[in-house]
Protein backbone atom coordinates (compact mmCIF):
# COMPACT_ATOMS: atom_id res chain seq x y z
CA UNK A 1 0.00 0.00 0.00
CA UNK A 2 2.85 2.36 0.78
CA UNK A 3 4.27 1.89 -2.74
CA UNK A 4 0.93 2.81 -4.30
CA UNK A 5 0.65 5.93 -2.13
CA UNK A 6 4.20 7.02 -3.05
CA UNK A 7 3.57 6.32 -6.75
CA UNK A 8 0.40 8.40 -6.78
CA UNK A 9 2.01 11.21 -4.76
CA UNK A 10 5.12 11.44 -6.95
CA UNK A 11 3.64 10.75 -10.39
CA UNK A 12 3.64 14.39 -11.47
CA UNK A 13 7.16 15.27 -10.37
CA UNK A 14 9.23 16.50 -13.33
CA UNK A 15 11.84 13.77 -12.97
CA UNK A 16 9.14 11.09 -13.10
CA UNK A 17 7.42 12.35 -16.26
CA UNK A 18 8.22 10.60 -19.51
CA UNK A 19 8.23 13.24 -22.24
CA UNK A 20 9.68 10.96 -24.90
CA UNK A 21 6.63 8.74 -25.41
CA UNK A 22 9.04 5.81 -25.09
CA UNK A 23 9.12 4.81 -21.41
CA UNK A 24 10.59 1.35 -22.11
CA UNK A 25 13.35 2.52 -24.47
CA UNK A 26 11.91 0.65 -27.46
CA UNK A 27 13.98 0.08 -30.58
CA UNK A 28 11.32 -0.11 -33.30
CA UNK A 29 9.35 2.60 -35.08
CA UNK A 30 6.03 1.93 -33.36
CA UNK A 31 7.56 3.64 -30.32
CA UNK A 32 8.13 6.77 -32.42
CA UNK A 33 4.46 7.74 -32.35
CA UNK A 34 2.19 8.78 -29.51
CA UNK A 35 -0.11 6.40 -27.69
CA UNK A 36 -2.81 6.09 -28.82
CA UNK A 37 -1.50 6.78 -32.30
CA UNK A 38 -3.28 9.25 -34.55
CA UNK A 39 -5.41 7.84 -37.37
CA UNK A 40 -2.64 8.51 -39.90
CA UNK A 41 0.16 6.86 -37.81
CA UNK A 42 3.05 9.08 -39.01
CA UNK A 43 2.69 12.70 -40.11
CA UNK A 44 5.95 12.33 -42.02
CA UNK A 45 7.25 8.90 -43.01
CA UNK A 46 10.57 8.27 -41.23
CA UNK A 47 13.58 7.39 -43.37
CA UNK A 48 15.00 4.02 -42.31
CA UNK A 49 18.60 3.08 -43.04
CA UNK A 50 19.28 0.42 -40.37
CA UNK A 51 17.47 -2.34 -38.51
CA UNK A 52 16.95 -0.36 -35.29
CA UNK A 53 16.17 2.97 -36.92
CA UNK A 54 14.35 4.43 -33.92
CA UNK A 55 17.35 3.79 -31.66
CA UNK A 56 19.58 5.65 -34.10
CA UNK A 57 17.07 8.50 -34.35
CA UNK A 58 16.95 8.86 -30.56
CA UNK A 59 20.75 8.84 -30.34
CA UNK A 60 20.99 11.69 -32.87
CA UNK A 61 20.60 14.70 -30.60
CA UNK A 62 20.94 17.29 -33.35
CA UNK A 63 18.28 19.96 -33.71
CA UNK A 64 15.81 19.08 -36.43
CA UNK A 65 14.13 21.51 -38.78
CA UNK A 66 10.43 22.07 -38.25
CA UNK A 67 8.64 19.62 -40.57
CA UNK A 68 6.37 20.75 -43.38
CA UNK A 69 3.12 18.83 -43.11
CA UNK A 70 1.03 17.89 -46.12
CA UNK A 71 -2.53 16.66 -46.51
CA UNK A 72 -2.67 12.94 -45.71
CA UNK A 73 -4.85 10.65 -47.85
CA UNK A 74 -6.69 8.03 -45.83
CA UNK A 75 -8.74 5.09 -47.11
CA UNK A 76 -12.46 5.01 -46.34
CA UNK A 77 -13.69 2.62 -43.70
CA UNK A 78 -15.03 -0.66 -45.03
CA UNK A 79 -16.56 -3.84 -43.66
CA UNK A 80 -15.05 -6.00 -46.42
CA UNK A 81 -12.28 -7.32 -44.17
CA UNK A 82 -14.74 -8.37 -41.48
CA UNK A 83 -17.03 -10.05 -44.00
CA UNK A 84 -14.11 -11.92 -45.62
CA UNK A 85 -12.94 -12.97 -42.14
CA UNK A 86 -16.38 -14.39 -41.31
CA UNK A 87 -16.43 -16.40 -44.52
CA UNK A 88 -12.90 -17.61 -43.71
CA UNK A 89 -14.09 -18.70 -40.26
CA UNK A 90 -16.87 -20.68 -41.94
CA UNK A 91 -14.29 -22.18 -44.33
CA UNK A 92 -12.01 -23.19 -41.45
CA UNK A 93 -14.84 -24.67 -39.40
CA UNK A 94 -16.15 -26.62 -42.39
CA UNK A 95 -12.65 -27.85 -43.27
CA UNK A 96 -12.03 -29.18 -39.75
CA UNK A 97 -15.36 -31.00 -39.64
CA UNK A 98 -15.26 -32.12 -43.30
CA UNK A 99 -18.48 -30.31 -44.25
CA UNK A 100 -17.46 -29.76 -47.84
CA UNK A 101 -20.55 -27.95 -49.09
CA UNK A 102 -20.10 -25.38 -46.29
CA UNK A 103 -16.36 -25.12 -47.04
CA UNK A 104 -17.18 -24.23 -50.65
CA UNK A 105 -19.60 -21.53 -49.47
CA UNK A 106 -16.90 -20.13 -47.16
CA UNK A 107 -14.24 -20.17 -49.89
CA UNK A 108 -16.48 -18.60 -52.54
CA UNK A 109 -17.78 -16.03 -50.06
CA UNK A 110 -14.31 -15.03 -48.89
CA UNK A 111 -12.84 -14.72 -52.38
CA UNK A 112 -16.03 -13.10 -53.68
CA UNK A 113 -15.90 -10.45 -50.95
CA UNK A 114 -12.33 -9.52 -51.89
CA UNK A 115 -13.20 -9.40 -55.60
CA UNK A 116 -16.31 -7.24 -55.05
CA UNK A 117 -14.37 -4.87 -52.78
CA UNK A 118 -11.55 -4.52 -55.30
CA UNK A 119 -13.99 -3.16 -57.91
CA UNK A 120 -15.62 -0.61 -55.61
CA UNK A 121 -14.58 2.98 -56.08
CA UNK A 122 -13.00 3.93 -52.78
CA UNK A 123 -11.66 7.46 -52.97
CA UNK A 124 -11.04 7.81 -49.25
CA UNK A 125 -10.65 11.18 -47.58
CA UNK A 126 -7.93 13.68 -46.72
CA UNK A 127 -6.76 14.95 -43.36
CA UNK A 128 -5.81 18.61 -43.96
CA UNK A 129 -2.22 19.67 -43.24
CA UNK A 130 -3.44 22.22 -40.68
CA UNK A 131 -5.21 19.47 -38.73
CA UNK A 132 -2.13 17.23 -38.91
CA UNK A 133 0.01 20.10 -37.60
CA UNK A 134 -2.43 20.72 -34.73
CA UNK A 135 -2.42 17.03 -33.77
CA UNK A 136 1.38 16.90 -33.90
CA UNK A 137 1.62 20.06 -31.77
CA UNK A 138 -0.53 18.48 -29.06
CA UNK A 139 1.21 15.15 -28.83
CA UNK A 140 4.36 14.73 -26.80
CA UNK A 141 5.64 11.43 -28.20
CA UNK A 142 9.26 10.69 -28.98
CA UNK A 143 8.45 10.88 -32.65
CA UNK A 144 8.17 14.66 -32.42
CA UNK A 145 11.95 14.97 -32.16
CA UNK A 146 12.95 12.44 -34.79
CA UNK A 147 15.05 13.14 -37.83
CA UNK A 148 12.74 12.58 -40.77
CA UNK A 149 13.21 13.16 -44.44
CA UNK A 150 10.68 15.46 -46.06
CA UNK A 151 10.48 15.52 -49.85
Tens place of pLDDT for every residue, the chain, 151 residues? 899 998 888 888 877 776 666 777 788 888 877 777 888 988 888 888 888 888 877 777 666 778 889 999 999 999 999 999 999 999 999 999 999 999 999 999 999 999 999 999 888 999 999 999 998 888 754 444 443 444 3
Where would I find the H helices in the chain? 2-10, 53-59, 80-96, 100-118, 129-138
64 and 92 share one domain = no
25 and 60 share one domain = yes
Q: Assess if residue 75 is contained within a domain.
A: no
- Please tell me the total count of domains within the chain: 2
What burial class does residue 143 get, using C-beta atoms within 10 Å of its C-beta: 0-12 exposed, 13-18 middle, 19+ buried? Answer: buried
9 and 51 share one domain = yes
Q: Assess if residue 74 is contained within a domain.
A: no
Give me the pLDDT at residue 98, please: 98
31 and 10 share one domain = yes
Give me the pLDDT at residue 95, please: 97
Range of the domain at 85: 80-118
94 and 140 share one domain = no
Q: Assess if residue 30 is contained within a domain.
A: yes
Q: Assess if residue 123 is contained within a domain.
A: no
8 and 63 share one domain = yes
Give me the pLDDT at residue 18, please: 67
- CA–CA gap between residue 33 and residue 143 (Å, rounded): 5
- pTM of the entire structure? 0.62
Give me the pLDDT at residue 112, please: 98
17 and 37 share one domain = yes
95 and 138 share one domain = no
64 and 133 share one domain = yes
Give me the pLDDT at residue 99, please: 98
- CA–CA gap between residue 140 and residue 151 (Å, rounded): 24
Q: Which of 110, 138, 111 is nearest to 38 (CA)?
A: 138
Q: Assess if residue 34 is contained within a domain.
A: yes
- CA–CA gap between residue 114 and residue 89 (Å, rounded): 15
Are 127 and 69 within 8 A, CB to CB? no
Are 136 and 69 within 8 A, CB to CB? yes
- CA–CA gap between residue 43 and residue 66 (Å, rounded): 12
36 and 61 share one domain = yes
- CA–CA gap between residue 142 and residue 123 (Å, rounded): 32
Q: Assess if residue 36 is contained within a domain.
A: yes
114 and 133 share one domain = no
57 and 86 share one domain = no
Amino acid sequence: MLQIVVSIRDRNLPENRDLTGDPWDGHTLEWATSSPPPSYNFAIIPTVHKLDAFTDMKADKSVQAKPVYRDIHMPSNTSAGLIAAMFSLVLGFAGVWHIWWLAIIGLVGSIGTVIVYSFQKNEGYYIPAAEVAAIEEKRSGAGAQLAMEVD
